[in-house]
Amino acid sequence: MKYKEELVRSMEALARYENTVFVGQSVKHSGNAIYNTLKTIPDIIPHGEDKLIEVPVFEEMQMGMCTGMAMNGIVPICCFPRFDFILRCMDALVNHLDKMQHMTEGTFKPKVIMRTSIGAKNPLDGGIQHTQDYTDPIMRMLYEVNVVSLNEPEQIFPAYEEAYKTECSTLLIEWGDYYNEK
């Protein structure tokens, strides 16, 4: 299967779990490439549209919402259309979600599955503020959150499956240029 097809397959599989929801910009309404990997969800499961929670551009609040949901047993798939946008929620990610297990001596183990994409440069280059790869610095900042770069289509489904099964949060980094190329 191709890169985008594997993303669609992975999102459909995650949607089938009762405790999952998708949170982010353009998860329910068209506006970015992540939407195109979620648009089948309302058609494949009963009340699938209820699993899609559209939010405005407020990344730190989105991360905080998802952390709170996770602390209550929900597994949010927290979607950030561009890796650059995660910079807006670094406090909530690095100082709260990533340290929650340690700060609570294991009482809370929130599981948030974060999706982001290194913005595509083809066919239209989104510019330096939408196409940066922050994988290495993010990996150095996080201790309890797994960071996974999805370079090949065959990595995608197993990585999302593992993110759901593991007891900690995971940041999965997709490549926008691969959505239509690989």
Q: Single out the residue of 104, 114, 102, 33 nearest to residue 66, CA to CA.
A: 114
pTM exceeds 0.85 for this model? yes
- The whole-number pLDDT of residue 98 equals 96
DSSP label at residue 18: T
Q: Is the pLDDT of residue 131 over 90?
A: no
- The whole-number pLDDT of residue 120 equals 85
CA 12 to chain centre: 14
Task: Give me the CATH number covering residue 12.
Answer: 3.40.50.970
Residues spanned by the domain of 17? 3-178
What confidence tens digit (pLDDT) does each residue in 156-165 have?
999 999 999 9
Domain count, the chain: 1
Kindly report the average pLDDT of the chain as a whole number.
Answer: 94
Percent of the chain having pLDDT more than 90?
82
